[in-house]
Structures are given as C-alpha cells and as structure tokens.
Structure 1
Amino acid sequence: MTTVRIHLTRHGEVFNPDGILYGRIPGYGLSDTGRAMAERLGEWFPENTEAIRALVQSPLQRAQETMAPIARALDMDPVTDERVIEAANQFEGLKVAQDVKKPANLVKVYNPFRPSWGEPYVEQVHRMRAAMATLRTRLTGIARAEGLDTVEGVVVSHQLPIWVTRLAAEGRPLWHDPRKRECALASVTSFTFSDATLEDMLYTDVCADLQPQKAVPGA
C-alpha cells in the first residue's frame, strides 16, 4: 500500500497597496513579506517532508513566485496546472472596502450558498480534486518505480479553492463565513491518502509570525 501526501499550499502575501480584489488579474506579485513567506516555505518543506517528487503551481504570478524558493530548495521543476487557479469572481478589479458595497454590485450577492458572484464552490472542489487525482496517480507511479512507501507532492494554489476542498473532504457545507477560513497566507493543508482513500488532513500555519494584522483583500 502506498501512502501519498499532497500539500495544498497557499501563496504568500501579495503587494496590493490599493486593496484591489485582484482574483485572476495578471501582474499581482508578492510583497516583501510575501517573498519572506516563500523563502520560509523553501526551508520548511525539506525539513518537514519525507519524499517530495512533484511540484504543481497555479498559473498566477503570486503562486509561481511562492513556488520558486521551494523548487530551488528541492532542485525540482514545477509544472503549471490551470485547475488549481484562483476562483473566478465578478468583483475582480474592485476595491473591497468601497466598490463591492455599491448597490450595482450588491445585487450580485443574491445567493451566498452558490455563490452567485463567482465560480460555484462545488466547481472549485471538482477541479481541485481532479488536479489532486492526477497528481496522486503520478506520485503513486513514482513510488512504485522507486520502491517508496510514502511519496509527497506540493501544490501552490489559493485560499478559497484550498478551503472549500478541505470543507468537502471533511463533509462540511461549502458555504461559509470567509472570515473564519483556516487557510492563512503561505499555510499548508496536507491530505494523506492510502491508495485512493483519504486517511488524514493536517493544517500548518508555517508563517504564523509573518501574517498581516488585518484581512488581506484579493486572496
């Protein structure tokens, strides 16, 4: 029996002085603190894992900049998977503190359970699970070829897709209060599988001391 562990990792803090909900908008890279978070992850993974054999990243800049120190530390080349991208959101480009609350935008918030303003939660779960299944199959093949009992992979993605994937795995409703997500910047949510069966999940706030004092817009 092969143990496969997949570490869903949120990107580091983004440079976003205007408080824009950036979503999938290109050009949003890491802040100085975000780069420090990424470097911390590059130190953390070699020290806290057994056999990482695959790296997967979102196509967005902030995820790829977060992955870079990890890839460098492990001397591995990441692959980009569109399925682990940030959730689509109709509020992209708006300032969270003021624009989202305008009447023309509030009408989009008619169904928080779906949610009506963006990519449905269930669709996020489906694409994330598909990406994880592909990675799990790849890692299982590597484990058999190398004679490993345990093999691991790292996926750098985004808060909401990671969080709803965890909620689904725990059998909880996908609708939630965004303020209560346990998915801090540069945190790691680890899924452990025995063959195709999920056996365990573990959340680690790797950069607890570097977290901002207030919520960060943009995800």
Structure 2
Amino acid sequence: MTVILLRHGRSTSNTAHTLAGRSEGVDLDDKGREQAEAVVARIGELPVKAIVRSPLLRCERTVAPVAAALTLDPVVDERLTEVDYGTWTGRKIGELLKEPLWAVVQQQPSAAVFPEGEGLAAVQSRAVAAVREHDRRLAEEHGADVLWIACTHGDVIKSILADALGSHLDSFQRITADPASMSVVRYSSMRPFVLHVNHTGPALTTALAAPPEPSGDAVVGGTTD
C-alpha cells in the first residue's frame, strides 16, 4: 500500500504568519489555489484509488480539483485534522517564538502539549493509526496494492514521516513539508519505505519507483559471509 501525503496549498494564515490550527474558514490564498489546480498534473496518470482528507477547509479546497479529475469522492477523517494548538490558535508566529514552550516544540516535541490543546505525541498516534487503518481498508476493498492520497497538515505529515523513517518524534523538526508538497510512503509487511519527502516538482511519477527487493543472501545486520 502506498500513500501520498499531500499538504494543503498555501493558506491565508500561512501568508499572515499566524498559527491557524483548527480555526474555521481558513482558506487557500491565490497561490494556494494555483497549487491545488497543479496537483492534477502532478498526479498525472498515477492510478490513485482513494482520497482521504482532513475536515478543514484548506484541505477540502486542495483536493477538490484532483478529486474531480479522478472522479473520486474524498473521505473525511478527523484523525488527519490539524494539531489542536489550544490557546496558541490564531496567534502570530512572532509572538509564539517568545513562549518557553516554543523551545520544547523545537527541541523535544514528544514532550510538547499545547495549552488547552493536545500534545504532539498524541497527534502522531492518531495520524499513524488513521493511515494504517485506511491502508488495511483499501487493501481489503481492492484485493491488491493501492495508491491513495491523504491530504493533511504540515506537523501531521512530519509526524507520520518520522514514524515511517523509524525516527523518534523528537527528530521530526528535521523534516520539511511545504504547502502543496507530496511525501510518499509505501507500507509493506516488513516495514515502511519512504520513497519521497517534500516533493514540489511538476510530476510525481519519478518518486514512485519500487524499493529494491531484499536479496536472498541478505542477513540480519546487513552483512553477508
């Protein structure tokens, strides 16, 4: 099963340098709408079988063009929604830089819990569970490997990628997920394979080469006699 983790296009909050969180009505700006339209060509002829998205408006707008092109009805999953930033929601990023919690978010995100909101560890738990569950559901429905899109938010994508890379959540700030970027993870019975991170190019096809099959003489530890 292969999932394309699509971050929503640039939003009005991105350009205003505020932390949108789960604020209602945060839409794409003009650039974000262009990015959403461009997703259609970037996906091209890839055999995408399903689209799952965050319930927030900016994700709805981002997947609308590609959903129409593929004649798919997106599934809404609350577990892919943005982080609940609590009382930080809507505040200017410049102000938040002065908060003691900001350093924790940057240096030890696994310990970060937003005031009256949720912790980043909880975000990773719900998001990874959602991706794994949709993988199983789609495999059962189609009886074969399936390529699908999950449209969500930057910190959510970074937490899923950290898990797929086998990295501690405290390393997730080393990962970048720009607006309208695509990151690709193939889940196998053995382990996840991260095929691409933060793809912003014109076509995604080259990012989907299959990982090499393990050779017959491979042994635990990566050495041979």
TM above 0.5, one fold?
yes
Q: Which runs of 5+ in 1 are unaligned?
A: 210-219
C-alpha displacement of 1:181: 2.8
**Secondary structure of 1:166's aligned partner:** helix
Higher relative contact order (CA 8 A, sep 6+): 1
Give the corresponding residue for 1:77.
73
Match of 2:92 among 91, 95, 112: 95
**Secondary structure of 2:90's aligned partner:** coil
Cα distance in 2, alignment partners of residues 164 and 205 from structure 1? 13
The question of 1:190 aligning with 2:184 is answered: yes
The question of 1:168 aligning with 2:163 is answered: yes
Percent sequence identity over aligned pairs: 28
Query: With structure 1 as the length reference, what TM-score do the two structures score?
Result: 0.79
Give the corresponding residue for 1:26.
24
Q: Which runs of 5+ in 2 are unaligned?
A: 203-225
C-alpha displacement of 1:143: 2.5
**Secondary structure of 1:175's aligned partner:** helix
What is the count of residue pairs matched by the alignment? 194
C-alpha displacement of 1:199: 4.0
The question of 1:154 aligning with 2:152 is answered: no
Contact 2:113 2:120 in 1 (8 A): no
- Output one character per residue of 1:95-127: Cα deviation in whole Å (capped at 9) or x when no partner: 112x3255xxx2545744221335322211211
Give the corresponding residue for 1:125.
124
Cα distance in 2, alignment partners of residues 204 and 165 from structure 1? 11
For 1:15, give the aligned amino acid: T
Shift in alpha-carbon separation, 1:134–1:101, aligned structure 2, 3 A: closer
Query: With structure 2 as the length reference, what TM-score do the two structures score?
Result: 0.77
More helix by share: 2
C-alpha displacement of 1:72: 0.9
Give the corresponding residue for 1:9.
6
- Output one character per residue of 1:183-214: Cα deviation in whole Å (capped at 9) or x when no partner: 111111111123x44341122544359xxxxx
